[in-house]
Amino acid sequence: MKKLVAVPVYNEERHILAVVEKIRSYHRCDILLINDGSTDRSGEIIEAIKDVVCITHLTHPRNIGYGQSIIDAFRYAIEKGYGQLVTIDCDEQHEPKHIPELFGRIEGADICSCSRYLQESEKDDTPPPDRYAINMKMTALINRITGYNLTDSFCGMKGYRVEALKQLDLKETGYAFPLEFWIQAFRFGLSVKEFSITRVYKDQSRSFGGKMDDPEVRLAYYYSVIERELKRWSISLPSELTRTT
């Protein structure tokens, strides 16, 4: 079975080489980098290493958003006939050592979603308070809608059975992509299990960018995407969502 690891990249010149090297030490198959209109040296670094480490890359001419990078990874995996896909972020906050086990665990589910909160460990970093609070609020709401009983709805490290992704019609290009994804996964009956990983926050000052750094703005955006997606698929809104929108 063909296996692919996909990495969304936006202004990660400090991390690309280390991330690719670590992935290569655990995954000798195909790697796809999606450069989302980086304005630093990310594009140059990718070009310099693509033939040496045998990676494929896609490039957006401008920054479109994290969600579009994952949508492109899904589309690429489907079009190229991959059976399994793992997504991992490029900021060194996901540990590539989990990749082989993720591929193994996909055998028993459509989605194997990593969680930074499933099992607490003394090795875990403390998350930024506003990110933790919003994650918990959105995760609780997604659980109300889907019954998935997730502990971390926003972790970008996931394993997927590619055949299951063909049913989805994903459009959210921004940071709310995971919320749209979970609602569609529920709508199309995809099976889910979680996999515990270490919580790593190497840079507490990492920014979403612009107005999205305001937690209230970010939260309102997340609610609006959930409401839109529920209406799209004629799924009833939970009472707490109707009070907020």
**Secondary structure (3-state) at 239:** helix
Pair of tokens at residue 18: 């280390």
Of the listed ranges 44-58, 156-170, 182-196, the least confidently predicted one is 44-58
**Secondary structure (3-state) at 117:** coil
C-alpha separations of 45 from 5, 18, 21, 92, 187 in Å: 18, 12, 13, 16, 40
Tens of pLDDT, residues 52-89? 888 999 999 999 999 999 999 999 999 999 999 999 99
Reported pTM? 0.94
Percent of the chain with pLDDT over 90: 81
Confidence of residue 210 (pLDDT cuts 50, 70, 90): confident
What architecture (CATH level 2) is domain 3-207? Alpha-Beta Complex (3.90)
**Secondary structure (3-state) at 125:** coil
Cβ contact 90:46 at 8 Å: no
**Secondary structure (3-state) at 168:** coil
Residues 10-15 have a mean pLDDT of 96
- In angstroms, rounded to a whole number, what is the distance separating the alpha carbons of residues 33 and 48? 13
| pLDDT for residue 37 is more than 80 | yes
Tens of pLDDT, residues 138-181? 999 999 999 999 999 999 999 999 999 999 999 999 999 999 99
Q: What's the pLDDT at 122?
A: 80
Q: Counting Cβ atoms within 10 Å, is residue 79 exposed (0-12), middle (13-18) or buried (19+)?
A: exposed
